Structure 1
Amino acid sequence: MNLMKTAMLLATLTAIFMGVGYLVGGANGAFIAFLVAAAMNLFSYWNADKIVLRMHNAHEVDARSAPEYYRIVERLAANAGLPMPRVYVIEDAQPNAFATGRNPQNAAVAATTGLLQRLTAEEVAAVMAHELAHVQNRDTLIMTVTATIAGAISMLANFAFFFGGNRDNNSPFGFIAVILAAITAPFAAMLVQMAISRTREYAADRRGAEICGQPMWLASALAKIANAAHLIPMDSAERNPSTAPLFIINPLSGERMDNLFSTHPATENRIAALQQLAGTTGGGGFASEAAPAAPAGRPSGPWGGAGRRAPRGGPWG
C-alpha cells in the first residue's frame, strides 16, 4: 500500500512538473520537464534525506558527542523494534524535530538545539518516538521525496516567471501561461504535501505515544513546541518552506488553522486526541514493548525513568 501511495505521489508531482514545462515551453518543455522529473525522482529516492539534512545544516552526533540524546533515540528504537537511525542536531533556537530516510534501515532523526534545551528528557523521548513512528510507518520516504520535488517545482515556476516570458519561447499560451504556472504550480505541490502530512501526523502521534509509553508526554511536548515555534523563527525552514511538512510542528510563521491550507493538523486537536488516548489506556500509559534495561544507577524505563528532568544544558548532556 505504501509503495502504491509513493508511486501515485511521484506521478502527481511529475505531472505538475511537466505541466509547468508545457505552459512555459510547449511540448518540448513538457518533454524536458519529464526527463528532469524522472532524473529527480531517481536521485531523490537515494539522496533526498541528505539534501534535506543539508538544507537545515544538520550535523550528525553519536554516543560520545551527544550521549543522553543519542541514548534516548537508541532505547526508543529498540523499544519499537527498529534499526538504530542516524542521529542529527540542528543548531537552531526553535524547538522542533523531523525524521527522514528512504526506509528504516537508512533512516535519520534530527532535533534542534532549541528542542533539546527547552524540553524535559521525557518530552524529548516522546518527540523522538513520534519521529520513529514516521520511520516505522515508512512515511519518511514519501515526505522527504515530496519536500525535495515540491521545492524543485517552486524553483521551476520562479525560473519560468523570470526567464520564460520572452517572445522566443515555445509556450502555446504566452506570458499568461508563465504567470499561471508561477502561481498555480507551487500551490498544487503544496496541496499534495498537505494532504500527505496532515493524515500522517495523527497516526504518528498515536504510534509515538505507544513507543514511548506515555501519550501525555507527547501532548506536553506538542504544546511547548507550538507555543515557541510561533515566537522563534527558523531561518533554514523559511528558506526551504517545502520541508515544513517534515517537522513535528510547522516551523513556518503564521500557520495556526486546522483547514485545507495548513501543513499540520491544529496542535489543539492533536493534544485532544492524545488526551483521549491517555484516558483509554487507563492512567495515560501503555505497556512497555520490550523496553531495554536501564543503565546501572538509573531508574527503570525505556530512557532512564519517568519523572526525571533533563539536566542543565539539555538532554544530550
Structure 2
Amino acid sequence: MANLFQLKARMIFVLAALFIFFTGFFYLISFAFEVNPIYSFVLAGFFILFQFLLGPVVVQLSTGLRYLKKGENPWLEGMVKALCDKAHLDVPRLAIVEDPSPNAFTFGYSAKGATLAVHRGLLERLNTEEIQAVLAHELGHIRHRDALVITGISSLPLIAYLIARSTLFTGSTYGRGRKGKDNAGLLILVAIVSYIIYIVGQLFVYGFSRMRENYADAYSAFLTANPRGLISALSRITYGLALAPKEQAGVRAFYISDPILAAHEVKEIADKGDVYDLNRDGVLDEKELSLAMEKEAESTWVRMNSLFATHPPTYKRILLLKQIEKEMKTGISNEKQLYRLI
C-alpha cells in the first residue's frame, strides 16, 4: 500500500509523463510532415474537445440506459440523496440499465451534470449495505471528477492510434518511384512510432484509472463508514460479471468493476474450486471467493494481466478495504487519513 502523498506523486508523475510524451510526439509528427507544431496542438485540442462532447452520448447509446422519472424508484432515490447530503454533493441524475449483471457507473464532467446509472442486476442481487457501498463508490468518482480526467487523458493515446492507422494505410499506397518509396518509408516509420506511443500511453492511462478506482473505494469506506459493505459487494459483482455477457469495451473504465478482468479472475479461481470451497457445498460464497482472490494475488499471470486493466484486481481492492476497516476500528474516520492507506 502507498500513502496519500505517494499516490498523489504517482498521479502527478503519470500526468507529467503523458504531457511530455505527447508533446514530443506532436513535435515529431510536425517535423515528419513539415508543418508548424502549433497546428498539431490545435488539431489535438479539437479532437479532445470532440471526445468530451461525444463521450456522454457514446455511453448512453452503448449501455442503453433509461433515465428514471422522479418518484419512479423512491428507495433508490432516497438512498442516493442521503449519501449526497452527507457528501455535500448535488444529487446526480439517476438511470437504470435493464441488464442482469451487477454493475454501476457514472459519467458527466461536473457534479451538477453527472449521471449515476445502475444495472437491474445490481439492485436484484446485492443487499442494502452492498448497494449503498457501490453508490458511495460512484459518488466518489463524481466528487473526484474522474470522468473529466480520464476522458481527457485517454484521448491522447487514441490520437496516436489514429495517426498510426492513417499513416500506415497511406504509406502502403505510395507509388514505386524513389520519391514514393522514401515517402512510404517515412510514413511507415511514423506509423510504427505512433503505435509504440499508443501502447505506452494506454498503459499510463490504465495505471491512472486504477489509482482513481482506489480513491473511489476509499471514499466509499469513508462515506458509509462500512468498508465491509464494499468488500462483500465487490466479491458478488466480480463473480456475477464473470458469468454475464460482456459490457461494451469502450465504457469499461466507467464501471465499478471491469467485466473482462472479472472473467479472468473468476476463471483462475474456478479451476481450483475444490481448494477454495471450504464448506464443500459445491458453491463459492462471498467469504470463500474473497479468500480465493487474496490467495490468487500470488499469481504472476494475474499481476501481469492487471497492467492492461482499467481497474485494480479485486483482491487488491479487498486488501485495501480490509486495511481501511482495521484503521477505522482504531478511530480513524477522516477522509484524508483513509486515503493515506492507498
Report the TM-score, using the length of structure 2 for normalisation: 0.68
Aligned position for 2:323: 276
- 3-state SS of paired residue (1:87): strand
Contact 1:202 1:270 in 2 (8 A): yes
After superposition, the Cα gap between the structure-2 partners of 1:151 and 1:180, relative to the gap in structure 1 and judged at 3 Å, is: closer
Equivalent-residue separation in structure 1 for 2:253 and 2:122 (angstroms): 17
Deviations 1:164-184 (A, max 9, x none): 532168566243543553x42
**Corresponding position: 1:267 with 2:314:** yes
Q: Are the equivalent residues in 1 in contact too, given 2:102–2:121 (CA < 8 A)?
A: yes
Conservation of the 8 A alpha-carbon contact between 2:93 and 2:114: yes
Partner Cα separation in structure 2 for residue 28 and residue 147 of structure 1: 25
Equivalent residue of 1:252, what SS? Answer: helix
* Paired amino acid for 2:199: F
Gaps spanning 5+ residues in structure 1: where?
Answer: 288-317
Corresponding residue of 2:227: 215
Query: Against the structure 1 CA distance between its residues 277 and 186, is the aligned structure 2 distance closer, same or farther, given a 3 Å change threshold?
Result: same
Larger radius of gyration: 2
Shift of 1:130: 0.4
Equivalent of residue 248 in structure 2, options 224, 236, 243? 236
DSSP 3-state at the match of 1:89: strand
- Residue 277 of structure 2 corresponds to none
Deviations 1:137-166 (A, max 9, x none): 222210233345555554554444445532
- 1:55 matched to which residue of 2? 62
Q: How far has the Cα of 1:117 moved from its partner?
A: 2.4
After the TM superposition, which residues 1-317 of structure 1 pair with which residues of structure 2 at under 5 Å, given as runs? Answer: 8=16, 11=19, 15=23, 18=26, 26-28=33-35, 34-45=41-52, 48-147=55-154, 150-151=157-158, 153-167=160-174, 173-181=186-194, 183-237=195-249, 240=250, 243-252=251-260, 256=265, 257-258=302-303, 259-282=306-329
Residues in 2 aligned to 1:15 and 1:94: alpha-carbon distance in whole angstroms: 41
Q: Name the SS of the counterpart of 1:111 in structure 2.
A: strand
Q: Which amino acid is the alignment partner of residue 74 of structure 2?
A: P
| 2: CA distance, partners of 1:20 / 1:53 | 36
Shift in Å, 1:198? 1.5
Give secondary structure in 1 for the equivalent of 2:96.
strand
The amino acid of 1:55's aligned partner reads: S
After TM superposition, give the deviation of residue 127 of structure 1 in Å.
Answer: 0.7
Aligned residues: CA RMSD = 3.7
Whether the 8 Å contact between 2:168 and 2:187 is mirrored in structure 1 is: no
Deviation at 1:31, TM superposition (A): 6.8
**Residues 70-99 of structure 1: CA distance to partner in whole angstroms, max 9, x if unpaired?**
332222111211001122223333322222
Matches of 1:285 and 1:37, distance apart in 2: 45
- 2:223 is aligned with what amino acid? I
Deviation at 1:235, TM superposition (A): 4.0
In structure 2, distance between residues paired with 1:158 and 1:120: 47
Seen in structure 2, the aligned counterparts of structure 1 residues 149 and 178 have a Cα distance that, compared at 3 Å, is closer
C-alpha distance after superposition, 1:249-308 (max 9, x if no partner): 112256543453332222112112212222332399969xxxxxxxxxxxxxxxxxxxxx
Q: Distance in 2 between matches of 1:211 and 1:26?
A: 52
Write the letter of the residue equivalent to 1:198.
R
Larger relative helix fraction: 2
Percent identity of the aligned residues? 28
Aligned length: 280
1:28, 1:57 → 2: CA distance? 42
For the 8 Å contact 1:98–1:246, the answer to whether it is kept is yes
> d(CA) in 1 for partners of 2:260 and 2:238?
11
- Deviation at residue 213 of structure 1 after TM alignment: 2.6
Secondary structure, counterpart of 2:248 in structure 1: helix
Bigger relative CO (Cα 8 Å, ≥ 6 apart): 1
Please tell me whether the aligned partners of residues 247 and 259 of structure 2 are also in contact (alpha carbons under 8 angstroms): no
- 1:273 alignment partner AA: L
Does 41-50 or 278-287 show the bigger shift? 278-287
